[in-house]
Amino acid sequence: MDTLNHTHDPAALSWVPGAQGHQDFPLQNLPVAVFRRQGEEEAFRGGMAIGDQIVDLAALSSARLLTGEAQHACELAARPRLNALMAAGQPAWRALRHGVFDLLSSHARETTQASVRACLVPQQQATYGLPSRIGDYTDFYTSIHHARNVGRVIRPDDPLTPNFVWLPIAYHGRASSVVISGTPFKRPNGQAFPPGARAPVFTPSTRLDYELEMGFYIGPGNAQGNPVPLAQAEKQIFGMCLLNDWSARDHQFWEMAPLGPFLGKNFCTSVSPWVVMMEALAPFRAPVADRLAPEPQPLPYLEHPVHRAAGGVDVQLTVSIDTEATRASGAKPSQVSRTSFRHQYWTVAQMVTQHTVGGCNLQSGDLIGTGTISGPTPGEEGAIVELSRGGTAPITLSATGEQRSFLHDGDTVILRGWCERQGAARIGFGTCEGRVLPASGPTA
Ligand code: MN
């Protein structure tokens, strides 16, 4: 696990205007994305956020202001996808983050500042790409509060399946339909079995939902047959992002037994452009959430003292909904939930270990979703199916007074994430946004 060092010092200052006190991207964060200028036929390349600017890592690599391992990592980050940087491992990620930190620090020489200034691109001018070529995407189900809330909708007598407290549950998702934040998608068509009907119908989803999740990208990866022990698991995690696992609940609940989610999930998954490296999250690590009797302690392969003390991450998360009426009125999107990732029952390290314990090989650039993040109290639900109690209790949007049981066409869902703690600089993940477009017409 990463330890605290000078890059976490809340007193560290940058010469870049607006970086100090930036709500997401002060000097202490330096997350990575893939970007290019809007409207330009440029190649995508890696960039690091500082304030409202991006350090163009291709330009920085050509400027040769970094040396050694940091320069090598910067060259890998100049490519259109970051798989090679992810494969290079923790020492390379740390060298790059520390090297760029020094260049952006107010202690950097005037001549250095001038050279780096020439590598800055305003975030307003940027369009983003997927950070990696995602070979495989797996989505977990690791919030006990979400599992209980959804379980009550599907199985009121027995909401939590017995395996939940013993292992991090997941399904293998679809990498091809992962999109970068800001990409709209069509409401999916599919089979549903409405309550009281005598046969299934083919219909645009009438129970379209979002899922508030975080995601993480795999670093070096492991060879097939070589599981990753829990104590080594975080070396496999390049960094974390925001993730929305859009879900068609009517399609999902009809098709899901006995093999798990399929079309109810595979039409679209959105990710934030910015990936926050694990090192930047070091000040915000938290103990693993307590197992309260009768919940069992994890089996030994999912347990380690260091992990137990700091395997969690305290990331504040919100969900907001922007509707056509909200936009027409000029009002701000309505916030519908707020929670923290620290409530998660299973940690990112346990997800890596569980994924590989049978011999499965993870590869650089693979995307892992944490599962919907819901907290213990009302208002902390990470999906609208939970907020609306399975659609029976519509929520009211604060901006317009509109009601929602599920998402309407034109709705945009906005996820936000940030970390704050006394004695540390606040850092953030930016946003993950996506808009629902009308379904395609009936097919012949
Ligand atoms: Mn999910």
Which candidate, 18, 96, 104, places its Cα nearest to that of 57? 96
Q: Which residue has the tokens 């309505």?
A: 334
CATH for 16-129 is 2.30.30.230
Q: What does the domain layout of the chain look like in residue ranges?
A: 16-129, 137-437
If pLDDT is split at 50, 70 and 90, which confidence band does 443 have? low
Find the 357 Cα to ligand 1 centroid distance in Å. Answer: 21
Q: Is the pLDDT of residue 37 over 60?
A: yes
Rounded mean pLDDT, 42-60 = 98
Which tens digit of pLDDT belongs to each residue from 55-95? 999 999 999 999 999 999 999 999 999 999 999 999 999 99
Find the 421 Cα to ligand 1 centroid distance in Å. Answer: 28
pLDDT of residue 171: 97
pLDDT of residue 442: 62
pLDDT of residue 218: 99
CATH number of this structure's domain 137-437, picked from the four choices 3.30.300.10, 3.90.850.10, 3.30.200.20, 3.40.50.300: 3.90.850.10
Rounded mean pLDDT, 392-401 = 97
If pLDDT is split at 50, 70 and 90, which confidence band does 294 have? confident
3-state per-residue secondary structure call for 79-143: CCCCHHHHHHCHHHHHHHHHHHHHHHECCCCHHHHHHHHCCEEEHHHEEEECCCCCCCEEEEECC
146 is catalytic: yes
Find the 211 Cα to ligand 1 centroid distance in Å. Answer: 6
Which candidate, 61, 37, 34, places its Cα nearest to that of 46? 34
Between CA 51 and CA 324 the distance in angstroms is 30
Q: Which residue has the tokens 């399975």?
A: 390
Q: Which of the pair, 150 or 412, is modelled with greater confidence?
A: 412
Between CA 241 and CA 222 the distance in angstroms is 22
Find the 422 Cα to ligand 1 centroid distance in Å. Answer: 32
Rounded mean pLDDT, 103-121 = 98
Q: Which of the pair, 40 or 117, is modelled with greater confidence?
A: 117
Q: Is the pLDDT of residue 1 over 80?
A: no
**What is the average pLDDT score of the chain?**
96
Between CA 398 and CA 201 the distance in angstroms is 34
pLDDT of residue 2: 83
Name the β-bridge partners of 209. Answer: 247
Phi-psi region of 371 (alpha: psi -120 to 50; beta: other; left: phi over 0): left
Find the 245 Cα to ligand 1 centroid distance in Å. Answer: 5
Which of 152-166, 210-224, 266-280, 372-386 shows the lowest per-residue confidence on average (mean pLDDT)? 152-166
Catalytic residue among 146, 251, 304, 307: 146
Strands 45-50 and 32-37, sheet pairing: antiparallel
Find the 369 Cα to ligand 1 centroid distance in Å. Answer: 7
Strands ordered across the beta sheet of 32-37:
120-122, 53-56, 45-50, 32-37, 126-129
pLDDT of residue 152: 86
Which tens digit of pLDDT belongs to each residue from 360-383? 999 999 999 999 999 999 999 999
Would you call 202 helix, strand, or coil by DSSP?
strand
Q: Is 321 exposed, middle or buried (0-12, 13-18, 19+ CB in 10 A)?
A: buried
* Residue 59 to residues 86, 211, 221, Cα–Cα distance (Å): 20, 37, 28
Find the 257 Cα to ligand 1 centroid distance in Å. Answer: 16
Find the 141 Cα to ligand 1 centroid distance in Å. Answer: 7
Find the 5 Cα to ligand 1 centroid distance in Å. Answer: 34
Find the 139 Cα to ligand 1 centroid distance in Å. Answer: 6
Whether the model pTM is above 0.75: yes
Would you call 336 helix, strand, or coil by DSSP?
strand
Find the 117 Cα to ligand 1 centroid distance in Å. Answer: 40
Find the 250 Cα to ligand 1 centroid distance in Å. Answer: 15
pLDDT of residue 444: 44
